[in-house]
């Protein structure tokens, strides 16, 4: 009986020892496992990543200026066109008749000018003749060879001839004004008639056809979109924190969604002056030459920036935010402490530049089993194993 109690007592002591060991090494009292890495000093390869949309650099939306019906559509989406090529003809309705009538009016007013010029020439000639006769009669009157009544009659004829000449000049001016107005009306009708034929402004490709024969278009309604396929670019959104080192002319690597396994090369063509205050992004336009690309397609853009020499860096995963401060947990003499830091650029390979707050050789905690706090017991391990 005594030996059985001893056995039970020994088993209980053993279980207590095992339980205590589990509590201390694996349970709530066990130190938190962490992984650490020393602050590195060296060159930091930097790059910027952004998502963009493929757009044409030069795009032309063609639309009629007046409401009309599409008489014939001569091109389709994807067709290549040349500058000046007719893309669509709208129904001119009565514009042809108006144009013909305007041209007849121009001819009529031109003939009126000729008639007015002839009348002016006759009036000038008659006035010249009558003026010479009146001068002769004045000499005869002074010599007493003609009566005053005859001399006054010749002066009246001269005044009448002068009035006729003035009337002829006025008629010629009126005829010329009517001719100019008729020409202006003809040009206006001609321009309206020309607007019924939409022409391609460039050598390009029809990117969109938004009209069918017989449909009615209102003034300003887009019928075609013509683009230059040799000037495609990716409108890329870059975070403002990373856009500071982006420069025009830098090389870019582009991966289109339709070609995920093909790496295309582009170049930064333009950096927009205005940033998006809501998304905190800046637009960077990257050129792209690809005949197989489609407008509106998403693209992934990577810009290779100059390396940063002799700078401190840590894994980005080590950065934490405590009490509204950016910082890292560091391991010093077996104890942990939180240090605020001033950070710089973050690279795509998971490292962040440290501008201030850490010294060479400091050990930062990268990963931990649970949230850290001051004076928490920790144990450094090579890596954390996910269970």
CB atoms under 10 Å from CB of 334, counted, come to 10
Statement: the pTM of the whole predicted model exceeds 0.75: no
Mean pLDDT computed over 324-334: 82
Distant-in-sequence contacts of 209-215, Cβ < 8 A, 24+ apart? 209/73, 209/75, 209/76, 209/77, 211/70, 211/73, 211/88, 212/70, 212/73, 213/70, 213/71, 213/72, 213/73, 214/69, 214/70, 215/69, 215/70
Radius of gyration of the chain (CA): 47
Fold topology of 29-46+309-380: 2.40.420
Length reported for the chain: 387
Assign domain 95-194 to its CATH architecture. Orthogonal Bundle (1.10)
Task: Compute the distance between CA of residue 39 and CA of residue 315 in angstroms, rounded to an integer.
Answer: 9
Tens-place pLDDT, residues 199-218 = 999 998 898 899 999 888 89
Q: Domain residue spans in the chain?
A: 29-46+309-380, 95-194
Lowest mean pLDDT among 20-29, 87-96, 117-126, 191-200: 20-29
Q: Please determine, for residue 357, whether its predicted confidence score (pLDDT) is greater than 50.
A: yes
- What confidence tier does 19 reach under pLDDT thresholds 50, 70, 90? very low
Report pLDDT for 366: 84
Identify the top-confidence range among 94-98, 185-189, 344-348.
185-189
Fold: same for 29-46+309-380 and 95-194: no
Q: Please determine, for residue 365, whether its predicted confidence score (pLDDT) is greater than 60.
A: yes
Report pLDDT for 22: 45
Strands 232-239 and 47-56: antiparallel
CB atoms under 10 Å from CB of 60, counted, come to 16
Tens-place pLDDT, residues 48-69 = 888 899 988 888 999 998 888 9
Please state, rounded to an integer, the average pLDDT across all residues of the chain: 84
Mean pLDDT computed over 291-317: 83
């Amino acid at each position: 009986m005594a030996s059985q109690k001893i056995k039970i007592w020994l088993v209980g002591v053993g279980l207590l020892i095992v339980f205590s060991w589990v509590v201390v090494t694996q349970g709530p009292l066990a130190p938190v496992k962490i992984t650490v890495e020393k602050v590195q000093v060296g060159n930091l390869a930097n790059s910027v990543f952004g998502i963009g949309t493929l757009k044409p650099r030069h795009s032309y939306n063609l639309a009629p200026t007046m409401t009309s019906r599409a008489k014939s559509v001569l091109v389709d989406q994807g067709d290549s066109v040349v500058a000046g090529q007719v893309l669509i003809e709208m129904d001119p309705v009565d514009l042809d008749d108006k144009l013909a009538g305007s041209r007849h009016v121009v001819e009529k007013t031109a003939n009126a000018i000729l008639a007015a010029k002839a009348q002016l020439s006759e009036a000038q000639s008659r006035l010249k003749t009558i003026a010479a006769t009146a001068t002769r009669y004045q000499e005869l009157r002074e010599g007493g060879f003609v009566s005053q009544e005859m001399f006054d009659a010749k002066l009246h004829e001269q005044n009448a001839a002068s009035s006729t000449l003035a009337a002829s000049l006025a008629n010629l001016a009126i005829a010329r004004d009517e001719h100019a107005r008729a020409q202006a009306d003809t040009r206006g009708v001609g321009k309206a008639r020309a607007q019924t034929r939409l022409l391609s402004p460039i050598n390009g490709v029809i990117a969109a056809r938004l009209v069918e024969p017989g449909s009615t278009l209102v003034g300003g309604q887009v019928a075609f979109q013509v683009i230059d396929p040799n000037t495609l670019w990716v409108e890329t959104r870059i975070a403002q924190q990373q856009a500071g080192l982006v420069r025009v002319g830098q090389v870019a690597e582009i991966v289109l969604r339709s070609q995920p396994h093909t790496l295309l090369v582009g170049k930064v063509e333009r950096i927009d002056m205005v940033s998006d205050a809501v998304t905190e992004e800046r637009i960077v336009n990257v050129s792209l030459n690809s005949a197989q690309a489609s407008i509106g397609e998403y693209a992934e853009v990577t810009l290779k920036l100059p390396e940063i020499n002799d700078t401190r860096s840590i894994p980005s995963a080590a950065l934490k935010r405590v009490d509204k401060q950016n910082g890292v947990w560091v391991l010093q003499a077996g104890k942990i402490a939180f240090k605020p830091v001033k950070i710089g650029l973050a690279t795509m390979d998971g490292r962040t530049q440290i501008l201030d707050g850490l010294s060479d050789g400091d050990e930062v905690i990268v990963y931990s089993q649970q949230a850290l706090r001051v004076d928490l017991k920790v144990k450094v391990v090579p890596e954390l194993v996910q269970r």
